[in-house]
Structure 1
């Protein structure tokens, strides 16, 4: 069974051969303007356009907490937009991260990754703008992805390992 590999680097440009699905957590408001998604948009515009269209047409699709949209950006690379945040700000109702939604989305992503034989690069999801803790997301990644045979690489841009 593969384990999660932690590396210093940019998850928007993972190295290595073979198919990959770059996973990250989005909000349920259609907002795309801070954090990891900006770095994604600087590399490729397709995921942002697809996410905005997915949100705009949400009355007629599955957009919502726990949903996943896979956007192919080259022949061997997909971006997995996983809706795992309620809103965009921490407030009276707590932090935006929704662990149960991330869990649901990871289950869908696992099926995609297994079908393609893809590995899954990602930032340390659920923290930062989402306001959550990696210590709560990591077991979900382990159970849903590495536990089913999918290789996962978590990319950290800085020295903040915990949280």
Structure 2
């Protein structure tokens, strides 16, 4: 069985030859401006533009926890916006990350990756501003991506 490959580097510069999907966590309130999304926006404008439009038209689409959006940003590179964060602040109900939504998003990303014959690249999703714990995220990645024999790369930025 495959395993997660851990790399040092920038997840917006994926280290693989084939088609790649860079995934990250978004919130469900339309906020884009802190954390990993800044690195994405620095490199490509399309993911932010698509996310903001998706949020703006949410009454007519699937913009909610567990939803994904896959945007092509280069010939062999896609960005997967995954809504798995409830708001942006820690409240009485805990941290913003919603692990069930992470699972739902990654299940959908797995299908997209299979269709595109793509590898999946990410920072330690959900563990920054979303307040999640890698010990909870890693098993979700194992169940949703690794068990489907997908190549998964997790980047620790230096």
Shared fold, TM over 0.5: yes
Residue equivalent to 2:138: 138
Q: Distance in 1 between matches of 2:135 and 2:76?
A: 30
Q: Deviation above 2 Å: which 4+ runs of structure 1?
A: none
SS at match of 1:130: coil
Residue equivalent to 1:129: 129
Residue equivalent to 2:153: 153
Residue equivalent to 1:161: none
Residue equivalent to 2:53: 53
How much has 1:16 moved relative to structure 2? 2.0
**5 Å matches for 1:6-155?**
6-155=6-155
SS at match of 2:115: helix
Q: Distance in 2 between matches of 1:98 and 1:49?
A: 24
SS at match of 1:91: coil
| TM-score where L is the length of structure 2 | 0.98
Q: Distance in 2 between matches of 1:16 and 1:114?
A: 16
Aligned residues: 158
SS at match of 2:103: helix
Residue equivalent to 1:5: 5
How much has 1:126 moved relative to structure 2? 1.1
How much has 1:92 moved relative to structure 2? 1.8
Aligned-residue CA RMSD (Å):
0.7
How much has 1:75 moved relative to structure 2? 1.8
How much has 1:146 moved relative to structure 2? 1.0
SS at match of 1:141: helix
Q: Which runs of 5+ in 2 are unaligned?
A: none
Q: Which runs of 5+ in 1 are unaligned?
A: 159-163
Q: Distance in 2 between matches of 1:16 and 1:131?
A: 29
